A and B are shown apart, each in its own frame.
Chain A
Amino acid sequence: MKQDVAQLRNRLRAAAAQVPHGLSFMEVCGTHTVAGFRTGLHAMLPANVKLLSGPGCPVCVTAQGDIDLMVDVALEAKVTFFTYGDMLKVPGTRGNLELARSRGAKIKVLYSTLDAVKYAQANPAEQVVLGAVGFETTTPATAVAILEAQKLDLANFSVLASHKVLLPALRALLDGGEVQVNGFLCPGHASIILGSNAFRPLVRDYGMPCVVAGFEADQMLAGMARLTEMVADALPELDNVYPQVVKPEGNRVAQAIIAKVFEPAPAKWRALGEIAGSGLRVRDAYAQFDAVRRFGLVAGDAPEPAGCRCGEVITGRCTPADCGLFGRKCTPLAPVGPCMVSSEGSCAAWFKYGRGSDNATTRRSAKEMVA
């Protein structure tokens, strides 16, 4: 049932008034990043409550070396490279996939991973590589593609997967101690697969309030109100204000398919570095469908673009407006870092909705809109 926004704001205000200090909550989902602006949420928050964007945009957290690997494979291995549209403009050390395409690489944008499998089946003379990034929401689609390729006995299909597992990254962020957050607004759609219970360890081990929320104004406000109430009451717990969609146990079929095809592995994240168990490696049983093994690929240690502060942005240590490149050398048309490339990146969202206005400015313009 849709909740009353005015009532939720009052609840949030009342809880925030009980807390004598500033509160920073963190969302870890690109869709929440965009929804925070689209719904006017930031402007509705009390002065001492902030919502930061964490490492929740899949394109933004992908390490530079992994992006270079995709560009290299597309350009040099003479393959037909399928990937999600978001990936085309992400700058690698030696240009992006779009540039590779202009240099003759065969790159196709997919809607479903099964598009790539069907293409491979119809074009047996071509080596087809699926370049995939994403969190738990997207990982099952890659796993299904591998299972389908196996069923069809395709000798010309493999995946270059840079999938991430959310929880180890959040633990690493908290263990690092550089980021002070008072709780997590947990992602609505990744949690469909993961289940809300997946966040329980953050409550148990770190005393972190965690609330799973959807993407409408009332759902996000309800999440922020619950988080603030938990801090005010000093009773951190797990709550789910999106129970119509997110179940405690998640999608068990999808979890089983991921576990069948992939095993946990260390992965490199932009800004966070290598985190144990935060990535997924294709299991030996499906090695023939792993582009890394098929083409003998090794990801290098590529430096991140000079001056780019995406790493600090995705860990909540600075806002896009704090970056010297933001809106000047780095815009959606000519992005320097991945946070400006992805439509769900913090920098792209700031650019689109506020051009670097701070909370106060956003608040003012929201008031003007109401007036």
Chain B
Amino acid sequence: MCLAVPGKVIRKVGDSAEIDLQGNRLEVSTVLVPEATEGSWVLVHAGFAIQTLSDEEAKETFDLLKELETAG
């Protein structure tokens, strides 16, 4: 239940953002991470971004991101 998954902020309007969550587009609240901007990596839990990650942190943490990087 406490699972959080990484996504990238595509668009941000007020406290709401469109996130690319491993290929799925999702609307999440960014009220808990006011520092998030378009292009930020965030961890999403139940519709809320709860943490921002630097590109480096996101890459270090998630295998999937590493694979994407290699593929890109």
Q: Which residues of A contact B (CB under 8 A)?
A: 1-2, 29-31, 57-59, 84, 86, 111-115, 133-135, 137-138, 140-141, 144, 187, 189-190, 192-193, 214, 216, 244-245, 251, 253-254, 257, 342, 344
Contact = CB atoms under 8 A, between A and B. Distances in A.
Given A111-B46, A192-B50, A257 B32 contact: yes
Chain B interface main SS type: mixed
Interface in B37-67: 43, 45-48, 50-51, 53, 57, 60-61, 63, 66
B71 interface: no
Contacts of B31: 144, 253, 257
B68 interface: no
B7 to A, nearest CB: 14
A331 B46 CA distance: 27
B13 interface: no
A254 B60 contact: no
A20 B10 CA distance: 54
B28 A187 contact: no
B32 A30 contact: no
Contacts of A216: 63
B1 A245 contact: no
Interface residues of B, number: 23
Contacts of B2: 29-31, 58, 134-135, 137-138, 187, 189-190
Given A138-B2, A192-B43, 18 more contacts: A30-B1, A112-B29, A114-B47, A137-B2, A137-B4, A140-B48, A140-B50, A141-B47, A144-B32, A144-B48, A189-B3, A189-B50, A193-B50, A251-B33, A253-B32, A253-B34, A254-B50, A257-B31
A244 B46 contact: no
A73 B20 CA distance: 37
Contacts of A187: 2
Contacts of A193: 50
A168 to B, nearest CB: 18
A30 B34 CA distance: 28
Contacts of B34: 253
Contacts of B50: 137, 140, 189, 192-193, 251, 254
